[in-house]
Amino acid sequence: MSEIFNVGKIKYEGPKSKNPLSFKHYDADMVIGGKTMREQLRFAMSYWHTICGEGTDMFGIGTIDKSFGEKDAMKIAEKKVQAAFEIMDKLGIDYFCFHDKDIAPEGDSLSEFHANLDKIVPIIKENMKKYNKKLLWGTANLFNNPRYVHGAGTSPYADVYAYAAAQVKKALDITIELGGEGYVFWGGREGYETLLNTDMGLELDNMARLLKMSVKYAREHGFKGDFYIEPKPKEPTKHQYDFDTATVVAFLRKYGLEKDFKMNIEANHATLAGHTFEHELCTARINGVFGSIDANQGDYLLGWDTDQFPTDVYNATYCMLEVLRAGGFTNGGLNFDSKPRRGSMTDEDIFLSYISGMDAFALGLKIANKIIEDGRIDEFVAQRYSSYNSGIGADIVNGKATLESLSEYALSLNKVELKKSGRQEYLESVINSIMFEGI
């Protein structure tokens, strides 16, 4: 079979290399923090952007043709499989993620969609074997089709809800068939525009019901992986129910779903919620729901979900610091939910974009590991909270303190020492000194 992309295998050539089609920092077999980079980073290719995305934005049609020279919808789908595995193979990416409708055309009915999926899935499975690739997670696209204009699992209409459930069932079947390590729910249309036409309580109860049914079905059918919710505050709806990690944690606890679900944190969604990427990751970690990551970055000046390839090394560093603090990934990984900018429309741009993202995260991993080994940041934090290790502080932490005992203690103090610096600028300079050591 002839190749689709006129690009060879991408190799690690080191930081001095000027070859654009090489890794400068991602050396798959290099051991960092006790594991190889490949094991630590668990990179995944997003099928929707890389294989289906044609460079559209809300003001313009596509700039890239992803029909790969075919005309018939099923032939295109088959060619897309070939393209997907060629890209993963050439970039040395071990995992991929997909929505149901990324891999096969929807056709004119649900049964036609199922039949199309049933033809493509064995081809994907064959290629997974041939190229030794794995599925990080699968999902159902419950936001694109006009039937979901008012929501899917939160639709006011039971028929639409049932249709969404059917799509989830089939996407779970495929995820299980392909040995997927995770299954994602991103609530694209699960939200609302105005309370004037919305029963928010019922919508959220129904969403929880769909999640419960999904967990039950998947576990009964042998799914051993993780379920994820991917928070996002807005876009497409004004108020998305899965606003951010804290909101989702409250939802999961309300409905008793906290044991079944973890988070899939996306960088661009975090910033849309007014948070940093690392804030969302830390919130997930301290609540025991750290799971997987959609790696990308937004643009503060544009302000919408631009899904750009992540090249900001500070962000990648703070992200990997959280990943290492969480003990690394288990079933999760770094899925590039990223696309080249509309103006980057060549085949080569696909490879250049992934190289830039993979190198940025390789740097992030190396620097985050150095920050931990260096110890100055962790030592400062430990010192800052050391008053909780003994005396009145230990009483607070151990639950021995009462309002009376604290009041008595406070009255015995002459004054509270205020001049205890948070040393933010110093700590930021420590990060820079570690990051740019040797320059």
| Site residues for ligand XUL per CB under 6 A | 99, 139, 184, 186, 230, 232, 266, 294, 305, 337
Query: What span, in angstroms and rounded, lies between the C-alpha atoms of 290 and 293?
Result: 9
Query: What span, in angstroms and rounded, lies between the C-alpha atoms of 351 and 339?
Result: 11
Tokens coding 414 = 């002459």
Query: What span, in angstroms and rounded, lies between the C-alpha atoms of 40 and 333?
Result: 8
Q: Which does 102 bind (CB under 5 to 8 A by kind): Co ion, ligand XUL, none?
A: none
Asked about 99 being catalytic, the answer comes back as yes
Choosing from 25, 27, 94, 99, the catalytic residue is 99
Asked about 57 being catalytic, the answer comes back as no
AA identity, residue 188: G
Beta strand segments in 217-371, E? 226-229, 239-240, 261-266, 290-295, 334-336
Q: Which does 139 bind (CB under 5 to 8 A by kind): ligand XUL, Co ion, none?
A: ligand XUL
CB of 127 to ligand XUL, least distance (A): 22
C-alpha 137: how far from chain center: 10
Q: Which does 323 bind (CB under 5 to 8 A by kind): ligand XUL, Co ion, none?
A: none
x/- map, 252-281, Co ion, by CB under 5 A: --------------x---------------
Q: Which of 94, 181, 242, 337 binds Co ion (CB under 5 A)?
A: 337
x/- map, 279-298, Co ion, by CB under 5 A: ---------------x----
CB of 422 to ligand XUL, least distance (A): 34
CB of 167 to Co ion, least distance (A): 18
Cross-strand bridge partners of residue 384: none
What is the torsional sign of CA 331, 367, 310, 124? Answer: negative
In this complex, which beta carbon is closest to ligand XUL, that of residue 24 or of residue 232? 232
AA identity, residue 144: N
How far CA 127 is from CA of 100, 121, 199, 208, 286, in Å, comes to: 17, 10, 45, 35, 38
In this complex, which beta carbon is closest to ligand XUL, that of residue 248 or of residue 324? 248
C-alpha 346: how far from chain center: 25
Task: Please identify which residue in the block is written with the tokens 């794995």.
Answer: 134
Choosing from 27, 94, 100, 102, the catalytic residue is 102
**Which of 132, 123, 216 shows the shortest CA–CA distance to 177?**
123
Q: Which does 305 bind (CB under 5 to 8 A by kind): ligand XUL, Co ion, none?
A: ligand XUL
In this complex, which beta carbon is closest to ligand XUL, that of residue 90 or of residue 262? 262
What is the torsional sign of CA 222, 291, 254, 242? Answer: negative
Q: Which does 192 bind (CB under 5 to 8 A by kind): ligand XUL, Co ion, none?
A: none
In this complex, which beta carbon is closest to ligand XUL, that of residue 278 or of residue 305? 305
Residues that bind Co ion (CB under 5 A): 266, 294, 337
Which residues are identified as catalytic? 99, 102
